[in-house]
Structure formats: C-alpha cells, structure tokens
Structure 1
Amino acid sequence: MIDKKFQGKGYGRIAVLRLLDLIKEKYGEIKFYTSIEPENIVAQKLYESIGFKKTGEIMWDEEVMVIQL
C-alpha cells in the first residue's frame, strides 16, 4: 500500500515492477497471481498496464489476475 499523500506519483508501479523482478530472479519464469477488489479500478489499470490479465476467477470476493514472468 502507498500512503494517500504519495499516491499518483508512480511509486506503486515502481514497487510492483521491482517485486516482480525479485520474484523472477528467485523463481524463474513462473505465473504470478494477485487479486483486486472489483471496484478498485485504479489497481486494475495499474496491474493491466504492467501486463496482468484477469483470469475470470473470483477468490474471497476479489478478481484474480495473472502475469507470466
């Protein structure tokens, strides 16, 4: 999570990209999953801009997204 006063400055995107780099370094080319609350359009757009796709699955009332690393 990014504090509200720092949102919209690209920090979330940088953090997610760095996390994905670290995961790929450690685990190789794997599928990586995350989930979003359906009403959180900002998170959805962020993940989609990075390359995540919706799987069509719902877990714990959240939409599942996946990216191939």
Structure 2
Amino acid sequence: MDKEIVTIVELNAENWYECCTLEVSEEQTRFMESNAVSIAQTKFEPTLKPYVIQYEGKTVGFLMFNSVKEELDGYWVYRIMVDKNFQGKGIGKKATELMIEEIMKQPKANKIIVGYHPENIGAHQLYEGLGFVDKGDRFGKEMAVVKAL
C-alpha cells in the first residue's frame, strides 16, 4: 500500500466529530477508550497530539502521542485505532509509520513506547512488525514495548 493513500492530519474543528463516530470491532472495545474520551483528554493534557488517520481522503482512524518524554525516558503512543470497517488493509501500519516520523521530529527523540493489554493480539502483531521490543516493562494491566530510534 502506498503511504500517500494513508495520511495523518492534526485533529481540528472540521474532523473531530467524524473521528468520534469511528468504532473498533466488538472484541477490541475492552482494550481502549472511545475516541471522544481521548479527544477530551487532549483538552486537559495539552502535550498530547491527536491526529486523524485518513485513507484515500476519508477519515478512518485516530492516533495520539505525547510530545514530551514520560516513563522509560521515551515518547509514548496513547492511541492508534482504525475503524472496524477499514481494518485488515494495512492502514494501521502505515499510519503508525507516519506517526513515528512525527515523533522523530520531537526534541531528543530516541525512543518510542507503546502500552497495550497483553491479550490484544492485533496490537502485538502491529508493534512487533514495526520493531517494537518487549523488555519486560509493565504498567498496571498493560505491557510496554519499546522502539529505539
């Protein structure tokens, strides 16, 4: 799939509501908050950077990362989701690659961390395929995987 078909654009007044209507599959709902909750979180934590994932110009997903380093001295990914109707097309992987490019623009970006529930097989496959490594770090019910830049 061409990266140009998948783009990420900053969340804004024109695309936030459409982003709130996106849904993951029923079995994935136990692993993440709704996009509306994540968008609300950005209003209280201004270092969080929300983006809409677009596929051929259509809003199909949402992602969010922190623009300041946190635990494990890295930039944390807070959310990556693709609507259930667009999963399985490689959109999540391309969007994650684009997000990594954005994170690499941050000051002293040398590490990206993602936390997810160990039973979330889709997340595990995505991050492992992009070079994230499980070094045994755990935060509550979530495992944290690390990608060195």
Which structure 1 residue ranges, 5 or more long, are not aligned?
none
Deviation, 1:26, is: 2.7
Amino acid aligned to 1:57: D
Q: If the length of structure 2 is used for normalisation, what is the TM-score?
A: 0.44
Distance 1:2 1:27 in 2: 28
Matches within 5 A, 1:19-30: 19-30=99-110
Matched, 1:64 2:124: no
Residues 10-68 of structure 1: per-residue CA shift (max 9 Å, x gap) = 11001110000111123354111111111011110110000000120111310100001
Aligned to 1:13: 93
Helix, strand or coil at the partner of 1:8: coil
Aligned to 2:84: 4
Aligned to 2:16: none
Q: Which has the higher contact order (CA 8 A, sep 6+)?
A: 1
Contact 2:117 2:143 in 1 (8 A): yes
Higher helix share: 1
Distance 2:96 2:82 in 1: 11
Distance 1:33 1:55 in 2: 11
Contact 2:103 2:109 in 1 (8 A): no
Q: If the length of structure 1 is used for normalisation, what is the TM-score?
A: 0.90
Identity, % of aligned pairs? 38
26-35 vs 44-53, which deviates more? 26-35
Runs of 4+ in 1 over 2 A off after TM superposition: 25-29
After superposition, the CA RMSD in angstroms is 1.2
